[in-house]
Homo-oligomer: A and B are copies of this chain.
Amino acid sequence: MEKVRLGIIGMGNMGTGHLRSIMKGECPRIEVTALADTDPEKLKKAGQSFGAAALFDTPEALMDSGLVDAVLIAVPHYDHPRIAIEAFSRGLHVMTEKPAGVFTRQVREMNEAAANSDVKFAIMFNQRADPIYAKAREIVSSGGLGETKRLVWIVTNWYRTQAYYDSGSWRATWNGEGGGVLLNQAPHNLDLWQWIFGMPKTIRAFCSVGKYHNIGVEDDVTIYGEYDNGATAVFISTTGEAPGTNRLEISGTKGKLVLEEGKLRFWKLKEDERMTCFNCKDGFVWPETDYEEFSAESPDGHPILLNNFADAILDGKELIAPGEEGINSLSISNAAYLSSWTGSSVDIPVDEESFEQHLTELCRSERREKKTVTVNETAEALSERWKVRW
């Protein structure tokens, strides 16, 4: 096999965005052979702009066609696990859009199905391709910060207008997306948080519903997390602030990292702070540090992750974002929701039954509206939108 024969399921913004990127030649080892959407209108439009692929009106028909080795799942969040499981059962490789799903129970089932299959499973956490985040991960995981102490991430530059929310009746609804900023914009950051700093054990979160927009889900969130080793994390995100901030600070016993404005700054202590604390005879000291700085352009991570997916299939290369890891960011957001709904601290793994009960009730009581606003947007804006923004 020289090229991966890819079927794209879902011809919405993300699916057509990936299609365009592949059509432009950004993924030389991928050939799009099939497209699927349950909406005939969308499917027709996609077929018109890309005649080389076969068109299917269900994911199953696409998967059963024999035309694809792999599928890219770009449908509403709720359906990711179900379709991925169908693909695994047919021996097809899977790249799913983020988030992994909405319910961790379904995502666990998806992960089990992946484990029992012999195919590659990846998730579109394109921001992992950013060299600055990768460098932070390398420093933390190699012990460059010593024992971790604290993560503080202010990522409030996901600004969205009311027109954005009015542009699709599924947007920012419990029934359509299963949540707001935590499930749509922040999953990238929640993933990077756990990728770089590991998984918290307990979450206390404060989610504000419709604080800045006329929507029924959260558009502002503050999360406090605690770790087994005593480290803590604070994560702040919103779609209602401009100009926003993207500043990630991580500290440990051997120093501190600050990622901001496209730069990683690294203060490295000459002596582990725990030694200074207990050996120093002075009460007030300012421990000495070395200083290093890294900067790099933020690339478009989408084709990087698609190419990595193809390399994994064709050459057995390691995945940048294994699909199984999608459950981690989802567990943090689910814990944050449950904490906010119950007004109390929530342990991870989350009580799935309690989460499902709460969310199901929110879906049941949600008022459905038909939205007809069309937002101005260019065809090329999509990659830009999901790039790391400093």
Q: Which residues of A contact B (CB under 8 A)?
A: 149-150, 152, 154, 156, 159-165, 167, 204, 206, 208, 211-213, 220, 222, 224, 226, 230, 232, 234, 236, 238, 240-243, 245, 249, 251, 255-256, 258, 267, 269, 273, 276-278, 280-287, 289, 343-345, 375-377, 381, 385
Cross-chain contact A273 with B242 (CB below 8 angstroms):
yes
Residues of chain B within 8 A of A343, CB atoms compared: 344-345
CA distance A376 to B285 in the complex (A): 11
Cross-chain contact B269 with A163 (CB below 8 angstroms):
no
CA distance A2 to B234 in the complex (A): 53
Cross-chain contact A283 with B375 (CB below 8 angstroms):
yes
- With A162-B277, A243-B255 already in contact, 7 other A-B pairs whose C-beta atoms are closer than 8 Å: A149-B241, A150-B238, A163-B280, A163-B281, A212-B277, A243-B269, A284-B377
Given contacts A224-B222, A236-B152, A345-B343, contact A283 B160 (CB under 8 A): yes
Determine how many copies of this chain the complex contains: 2
CA distance A357 to B269 in the complex (A): 42
Residues of chain B within 8 A of A375, CB atoms compared: 281-283
Closest B residue, CB atoms, query A385? B284
Which of A220, A273, A284, A287 counts the most B-chain CB atoms under 10 A from its CB? Answer: A284
11 contacts between A and B (CB under 8 A): A149-B241, A150-B238, A159-B284, A162-B277, A206-B224, A234-B236, A242-B269, A242-B287, A243-B255, A243-B256, A245-B258
Majority SS of interface residues in chain A? mixed
Cross-chain contact A286 with B243 (CB below 8 angstroms):
yes
| A171 vs chain B, min Cβ distance (A) | 9
CA distance A287 to B243 in the complex (A): 7
Cross-chain contact B206 with A232 (CB below 8 angstroms):
yes
CA distance A240 to B243 in the complex (A): 32
Residues of chain B within 8 A of A255, CB atoms compared: 243
Cross-chain contact B243 with A232 (CB below 8 angstroms):
no
Contact of A159 among B204, B258, B285, B377 (CB under 8 A): B285
| A116 vs chain B, min Cβ distance (A) | 40
Per CB-CB distance, the 5 closest pairs between chain A and chain B, nearest first, are A164-B283, A283-B375, A242-B287, A161-B280, A242-B273
